Chains A and B, each alone.
Chain A
Amino acid sequence: MQRMKQLMSAAAMVALLAAPAAAQVSDDVVKLGVMNDQSGLYADITGPGSVVAARMAVEDFGGKVLGKPIEVVFADHQNKPDIGVNVARQWIDTQQVDAMVDVPTSSVALAVQEVTRQKNRVFLMSGPASSDLTGKACSETGIHWTYDTYALANGTGKALVKQGGDTWFFLTSDYAFGHALERDTAKFVTDGGGKVLGVVRHPLNTADFSSFLLQAQASKAKVIGLANAGGDTINSIKQAAEFGVVAGGQRLAGLLVFINDVHALGLKTAQGLVVTSAFYWDLNDDTRAFAKRFMEKHKGMVPSMIQAGVYGEVMHYLKAVQAAGTDEAKAVAKKMKELPINDFMTKNGSIRQDGRVIRNMYLLQVKKPEESKAKYDYYKVLATIPGNEAFRPMAEGGCPLVKG
């Protein structure tokens, strides 16, 4: 059996080498599997909206690549790594999925990264944040598209230290993402001459933050860094307001805040928050046009940077499949890294060897209620962080693919 398999794969290799020019699409379909949180605390920022974005990209590409149809399937991983692994493996083994898309929740993404590495599939990450995905857990076929914890820390963390926030206390979501965000932010705090006074870690998807917030309050730190996301960030900010944390002179730093979170909080509670984002719908005509189309297709909900990123990464992937003439993962990933990225949210972007997409990030501030003129008019742009400064230098990441 094993022998036979080896022979067959050897034969396949020879055939591949013999006909490099022929277009190769496995199973006569290019299938994209969007996996994310469809119903839980990250459903608004990823969820069905990411599926809509992926379908928009497929539609705009023309629905076909190399003459073969493009299909989009999706699944709910419920933020559990074991479900994510099972779905990924099953998609690849039985449904011929060629690329995994989105996959928020860093713990799940790290697990899926291993599956796609093992099974040689492209992994287009828009949802997950942990910078380890292009660091020590990087993969030849893993592309980290939208943002990462280092870029968030570099934006929000650095800006707050500069404004005098030199003592920090972290409220951290207790899993891969929170740990990475806390670690990356703490580095900028200490590098900037600040001090981390303490850390408290809460379980993912927590309803009651009172004991954590009281600890943060008692620490007397000038800044309380919220190393969490989605529903957890919303709950911690709301409850902090109830405890009078901000009124007591401490500052809240939402290290990962999405426009959907601001919408849920309301400007009254969220005003003044400094936010790092890869995308804001009201930046220019291109972003406004995308947001308008997205909102028409998705119940009037504004696209988060993750959902916008899903559109971009799917589009770039399909272009690379077209250019490479195959859907074989390594060849496509290589082509993706060669081609420049240009779409509504990314101008002259590129992909590094470790899989990190380099693009501009924006430092935004949430407007006061009276400054907001229209629905979703929530941010003013404080600064644009150029791509080469926003992300962690490749040599510092510890990615085994990077030599020297």
Chain B
Amino acid sequence: MNKPIALALLALLVVAPFFVYPSFLMTALCFALFACAFNLLIGYVGLLSFGHAAYFGGAAYITAHVVKVWGWTPELGILAGVVVAAFLGLIFGSLAIRRQGIYFAMITLALSQMLYFFAVQAPFTHGEDGIQAIPRRHLFGLIDLSDSLTMYYFVAVIFLIGFAIIYRTIHSPFGQILKAIRENEPRAVSLGYDVDRFKLMAFVLSTALCGLAGGTKALVSQIASLTDVHWAMSGEVVLITLVGGIGTVLGPVVGAFIVIAMQNYLAEWGEWVLVIQGVIFVVIVMSLRRGVVGELVALWERRKPSAAGAEAKAQAAH
């Protein structure tokens, strides 16, 4: 990403809570991180998981439980969520990556539905009621997070950490191999890469980051409920990523802000939100194939054909 854009976005992140309702920003950031983690799989490894709600919601429940019932501090609570999500990812992932395409998607969906019904029945999740009134407590036992501005900066830092991990992963040799797998799996195999191992590593990394987003969201909204583990949540993250642009670094972030803003500010229209969401989804799929950010990037490159061409040539030469 080029530097001026990065700095401008960072500045925006710092001043935003003074102009926009912080709770909305925090929710959007959690979903942005969730979508970025999902994008790591679909955009860079080419794996369409349809069960990411399991890790998001699973981590939300774990964080909620250890913070509310066991009295852990928020950072330990979120960490517990991440560990559990990564562990779930390891189990689910090692089963699912043996298949490809639609079969992969179906296996992830089936496994996440198992977790959903577990959440419906398990006593500690309180079924339909969810875990309510989760205290935010003190960060490191020192900083009071009940103030929404403090909480916002805590969430922003978590988002930046997660985002940095993803950015670093994509631009590392490891990320290059992932992209190679996405483009041509047999060729990656023929080059001597243990493709399954790379896929599993990417899967676990993605689920751990989903856990980070889910655990944080539980503290933001102070409730962990069935909505977070429902399959519709898995669909929502697909929608967010599609709207923003699959396989772009910033796409999921933009997508998350668009979708969450719609849900938030159109809430008074009731069920119509879903209809409006559906229409926007169709419009984007039909006319903005690459998503909002994807189209912008394409436009940018079309405007500067010579520079882009030179770059492409330079890349080809490598």
Q: How far is B130's CA from A111's CA once the two chains are assembled, in angstroms?
A: 9
Q: Would you call A81 and B23 a contact (CB within 8 A)?
A: no
Q: How far is B27's CA from A2's CA once the two chains are assembled, in angstroms?
A: 23
**Contacts of B169 on A, CB cut-off 8 Å?**
none
A176 close to B (CB within 8 Å): yes
Distance from B130 Cβ to chain A, minimum over Cβ atoms (Å): 5
Q: Write out, one digit per residue, whether chain A residues 49-90 have a CB within 8 A of any chain B CB (1) or not (0).
A: 000000000000000000000000111100011110111011
Tell me which of B120, B128, B264 has the highest count of chain A C-beta atoms within 10 A of its own C-beta: B128
Q: How far is B148's CA from A311's CA once the two chains are assembled, in angstroms?
A: 35
A204 close to B (CB within 8 Å): yes
Q: Would you call A175 and B23 a contact (CB within 8 A)?
A: no
Give residues of chain B (24-70) contacting chain A, Cβ–Cβ below 8 Å.
24, 27
Tell me which of B129, B223, B264 has the highest count of chain A C-beta atoms within 10 A of its own C-beta: B129
**Contacts of A111 on B, CB cut-off 8 Å?**
129-130, 132-133, 223
| Tally of A-B Cβ pairs under 8 angstroms | 71
Q: Write out, one digit per residue, whether chain A residues 195-215 have a CB within 8 A of any chain B CB (1) or not (0).
A: 000000001100000000000
Q: How far is B249's CA from A254's CA once the two chains are assembled, in angstroms?
A: 55
B227 close to A (CB within 8 Å): yes
Q: How far is B223's CA from A203's CA once the two chains are assembled, in angstroms?
A: 20
Give residues of chain B (218-235) contacting chain A, Cβ–Cβ below 8 Å.
221-223, 225-228
Q: Would you call B221 and A86 a contact (CB within 8 A)?
A: yes
**Contacts of B271 on A, CB cut-off 8 Å?**
38-39, 76
**Contacts of B267 on A, CB cut-off 8 Å?**
75-76, 87
B270 close to A (CB within 8 Å): yes
Q: How many chain-B residues does the 8 Å CB contact rule pick out?
A: 26
**Contacts of B23 on A, CB cut-off 8 Å?**
86, 89-90, 93
**Contacts of B270 on A, CB cut-off 8 Å?**
38-39, 75-76
Partner of B132, one of A86, A87, A110: A110
Q: Would you call A80 and B127 a contact (CB within 8 A)?
A: no
Q: How far is B220's CA from A85's CA once the two chains are assembled, in angstroms?
A: 11
Q: Would you call A82 and B130 a contact (CB within 8 A)?
A: yes
Q: How many chain-A residues does the 8 Å CB contact rule pick out?
A: 28
Nearest A residue (CB) for B22: A93
Give residues of chain A (8-55) contacting chain B, Cβ–Cβ below 8 Å.
38-39
Tell me which of A39, A73, A82 has the highest count of chain B C-beta atoms within 10 A of its own C-beta: A82
- Interface secondary structure of A, over-half rule: helix
**Contacts of A203 on B, CB cut-off 8 Å?**
120, 128
Partner of A174, one of B128, B130, B133: B128
**Contacts of A90 on B, CB cut-off 8 Å?**
21, 23-24, 264
**Contacts of B194 on A, CB cut-off 8 Å?**
none
Give residues of chain B (83-128) contacting chain A, Cβ–Cβ below 8 Å.
120, 127-128
**Contacts of A75 on B, CB cut-off 8 Å?**
267-268, 270
Nearest A residue (CB) for B228: A82
Q: How far is B128's CA from A86's CA once the two chains are assembled, in angstroms?
A: 17
Give residues of chain B (166-185) contacting chain A, Cβ–Cβ below 8 Å.
none
Partner of B21, one of A76, A80, A94: A94
Q: How far is B81's CA from A262's CA once the two chains are assembled, in angstroms?
A: 47
Partner of B225, one of A2, A81, A87, A94: A81
B149 close to A (CB within 8 Å): yes
Q: How far is B270's CA from A86's CA once the two chains are assembled, in angstroms?
A: 14
Distance from B282 Cβ to chain A, minimum over Cβ atoms (Å): 22
Q: Would you call B268 and A81 a contact (CB within 8 A)?
A: no
**Contacts of A82 on B, CB cut-off 8 Å?**
130, 221, 223, 225, 227-228
Q: A75-B268, A86-B221 are in contact. Are A93 and B21 (CB under 8 A)?
A: yes
A107 close to B (CB within 8 Å): yes
Q: Would you call A85 and B128 a contact (CB within 8 A)?
A: no
Distance from A83 Cβ to chain B, minimum over Cβ atoms (Å): 8
**Contacts of B27 on A, CB cut-off 8 Å?**
86
**Contacts of A282 on B, CB cut-off 8 Å?**
none
A377 close to B (CB within 8 Å): no
Q: How far is B130's CA from A68's CA once the two chains are assembled, in angstroms?
A: 38
Q: How far is B149's CA from A86's CA once the two chains are assembled, in angstroms?
A: 17
Nearest A residue (CB) for B128: A175
Distance from B141 Cβ to chain A, minimum over Cβ atoms (Å): 17
Q: Would you call A204 and B149 a contact (CB within 8 A)?
A: no
Q: How far is B123's CA from A174's CA once the two chains are assembled, in angstroms?
A: 12
Q: Would you call A175 and B21 a contact (CB within 8 A)?
A: no
**Contacts of B133 on A, CB cut-off 8 Å?**
111, 114
Q: Would you call B147 and A81 a contact (CB within 8 A)?
A: no
A1 close to B (CB within 8 Å): yes
Distance from B316 Cβ to chain A, minimum over Cβ atoms (Å): 50
Q: Would you call B132 and A81 a contact (CB within 8 A)?
A: yes
Distance from B114 Cβ to chain A, minimum over Cβ atoms (Å): 16
Q: How far is B21's CA from A94's CA once the two chains are assembled, in angstroms?
A: 7
Q: A39-B271, A76-B271, A176-B129 are in contact. Are A81 and B149 (CB under 8 A)?
A: no
Q: Would you call B129 and A80 a contact (CB within 8 A)?
A: no
Nearest B residue (CB) for A117: B133
Distance from A118 Cβ to chain B, minimum over Cβ atoms (Å): 8
**Contacts of A174 on B, CB cut-off 8 Å?**
120, 127-128
Nearest A residue (CB) for B134: A114
**Contacts of A81 on B, CB cut-off 8 Å?**
129-130, 132, 223, 225
Q: How far is B20's CA from A94's CA once the two chains are assembled, in angstroms?
A: 10
Nearest A residue (CB) for B218: A82
Distance from A138 Cβ to chain B, minimum over Cβ atoms (Å): 14
Q: How far is B129's CA from A176's CA once the two chains are assembled, in angstroms?
A: 6
Nearest A residue (CB) for B264: A90
Q: Would you call B222 and A2 a contact (CB within 8 A)?
A: no
Distance from B6 Cβ to chain A, minimum over Cβ atoms (Å): 27
Q: Would you call A204 and B221 a contact (CB within 8 A)?
A: no
Q: Would you call A107 and B268 a contact (CB within 8 A)?
A: no
Q: Would you call A107 and B128 a contact (CB within 8 A)?
A: yes
Q: Write out, one digit per residue, whether chain A residues 112-156 have a CB within 8 A of any chain B CB (1) or not (0).
A: 001000000000000000000000000000000000000000000
Q: How far is B132's CA from A94's CA once the two chains are assembled, in angstroms?
A: 22
Q: Could you show 23 A-B contacts with beta carbons less than 8 Å apart?
A: A1-B149, A2-B147, A39-B270, A74-B268, A76-B267, A76-B271, A81-B130, A82-B221, A82-B225, A82-B227, A82-B228, A89-B23, A90-B21, A93-B148, A107-B130, A110-B132, A111-B129, A111-B130, A114-B133, A114-B222, A175-B128, A176-B128, A203-B128
* Shortest beta-carbon contacts, A-B, top 10: A175-B128, A114-B133, A107-B129, A76-B270, A82-B225, A111-B132, A176-B129, A39-B271, A81-B130, A82-B227
